[in-house]
């Protein structure tokens, strides 16, 4: 396991031990509405008319995204992968019908196959004590692997450099620069949502050969504005 993953595992294992299945337990801060908003942004990758799709939630934590999927009666086949055994054990107990994988996403081998959607709410937002350059390489590796494992689309979030306050432990990326890299290396079918008030953005990447136009817009969730 790479050293970034070791640091992440140690950090999130402790936040979950301390705060349990809450937004603080996955270090998303005390405001649970912010956590929910981020999760909604992940589900916006789903296209209407694509029922029973498979989804891999990378860095799934204790399964908060699946809770939102259930709340919205969305018919999906969900799998989650996370480094932290304590969170995965909790998630398994809550939802034994899903696939829960305890391990490093970057080490998943090809036997896991592909998923229609791959989402990641929060691995690329916190760098802890890792240097910016090292984190940039890690981010590229993670994004490329997510895209290679999806059949339809990927969603992930990252802190924006369009902010007036920066914190040492968070990972900021210029949205225009990251979008440029994605469009030249991975796909031109992209959406960027920089419109919500959390000093971060969500990027949506779709496969070039997927017939997006035959599907509707993204799904609307209960209570979504």
Ligand X SMILES: C[S@@+](CC[C@H](N)C(=O)[O-])C[C@H]1O[C@@H](n2cnc3c(N)ncnc32)[C@H](O)[C@@H]1O
The torsion region of residue 146 among left (phi > 0), alpha (psi -120 to 50) and beta comes to alpha
Terminal-residue alpha carbon distance, the chain = 40
| Contact code string over 8-37 relative to ligand X, x by CB under 6 A | xx--x-------------xxx---------
The closest of 18, 119, 111 to 59, measured between CA atoms, is 119
| Interface with ligand X, residue 116, by CB under 6 A | no
The torsion region of residue 20 among left (phi > 0), alpha (psi -120 to 50) and beta comes to left
Q: Are 95 and 87 in contact (CB under 8 A)?
A: no
- Closer to ligand X by CB, 122 or 153: give it: 122
Q: Which residue among 104, 136, 141, 193 contacts ligand X (CB under 6 A)?
A: 104
Q: Which residues pair with 115 in a beta bridge?
A: 150
Residues 59-88 contacting ligand X, CB under 6 A: 59-61, 64, 81-84, 87
Provide, rounded to whole angstroms, the least separation between the CB of residue 87 and ligand X: 6
* 146 CB-near residues (< 8 Å, 6+ apart): 58, 105, 118, 120, 154, 156
Provide, rounded to whole angstroms, the least separation between the CB of residue 25 and ligand X: 8
> Could you tell me which stretch among 102-110, 145-153, 167-175, 204-212 binds ligand X (CB under 6 A)?
102-110
Provide, rounded to whole angstroms, the least separation between the CB of residue 208 and ligand X: 26
What is the binding site for ligand X (CB under 6 A)? Answer: 5, 8-9, 12, 26-28, 59-61, 64, 81-84, 87, 104-106, 121-123
């Amino acid at each position: 396991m790479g050293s970034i993953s070791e640091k992440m595992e140690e950090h999130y294992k402790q936040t979950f031990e301390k705060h349990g299945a809450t937004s603080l337990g996955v270090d998303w801060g005390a405001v649970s509405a912010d956590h929910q908003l981020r999760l909604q942004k992940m589900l916006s990758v789903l296209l209407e008319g694509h029922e029973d799709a498979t989804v891999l939630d990378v860095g799934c934590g204790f399964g908060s995204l699946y809770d939102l999927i259930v709340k919205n009666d969305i018919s999906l086949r969900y799998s989650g992968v996370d480094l932290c055994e304590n969170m995965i054990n909790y998630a398994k107990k809550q939802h034994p019908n899903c696939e829960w994988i305890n391990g490093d996403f970057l080490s998943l081998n090809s036997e896991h196959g592909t998923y229609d959607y791959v989402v990641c709410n929060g691995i690329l937002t916190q760098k802890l004590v890792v240097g910016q350059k090292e984190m940039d390489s890690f981010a590229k590796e993670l994004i490329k692997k997510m895209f290679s494992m999806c059949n339809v689309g990927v969603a992930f979030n990252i802190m924006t450099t369009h902010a007036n306050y920066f914190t040492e432990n968070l990972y900021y990326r210029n949205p225009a620069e990251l979008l440029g890299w994605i469009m030249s290396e991975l796909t031109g079918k992209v959406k960027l949502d920089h419109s919500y008030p959390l000093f971060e953005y969500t990027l949506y990447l779709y496969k070039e050969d997927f017939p997006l136009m035959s599907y509707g817009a993204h799904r609307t969730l209960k209570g979504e504005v």
